[in-house]
Amino acid sequence: VTARSQSKSGRPEFKPISEEQAKAYEHCCKNDIVFLSGPAGCSKTFTAIAYAIDHLLKDEERQLILTRPAVEACGEELGALPGGVAEKMQPFMHPLTDTIREYAGETRIQYSVVAMAHLRGRTIKNTILVVDEAQNASWRQLKLLLTRIGNGSKIILCGDGDQSDIRDSGLMAAAE
């Protein structure tokens, strides 16, 4: 868990409680493509969202896009979901949107939820793209995402290769 303290704005501030968390945040600051990998509970998603929000509040020209593979955990099948893409993706996005609400506090953060397949053909400019549960994406899906990066953008992929719910996870191959 990441330590938090309140800022003057009433919003929590990122305070890493381990050297690994501090390094992960630093990598987000210094690199355009970042892989945050580690076991469950090591704050991969929290670190990525904290970096994205901190950076968005400093640079209003950037946008935040959230995505993750639409894979049910452990083979569980929920069946067809009603609604448009945003409604279909929402159940999968709760870990990210909950983290945004927790970290942003009273600060309103604008973000888009986009299905991975809908990023095909786009050039992502002035954007922070956070990919959660990246271990559940195939190499082809991750290649599609990694080749979308444009000027002023960052892609942060969060995942743990040991927790994949698919046979052919592309996370480790993409990291290499």
User: 140-156 pLDDT, tens per residue?
Assistant: 999 999 998 999 999 99
Q: Where are any strands of DSSP class E within the chain?
A: 3-6, 12-15, 33-37, 63-67, 112-113, 127-131, 154-159
pLDDT tens per residue, range 93-121: 788 888 888 888 878 888 988 888 888 88
Per-residue pLDDT at 116: 86
Dist CA 34 CA 162 (whole Å): 18
Q: Are 157 and 151 in contact (CB under 8 A)?
A: no
The kind and range of the H/E element at 93 are helix 85-104
The kind and range of the H/E element at 53 are helix 44-58
Per-residue pLDDT at 151: 93
pTM: 0.84
Range with the poorest average pLDDT among 26-30, 40-44, 77-81: 77-81
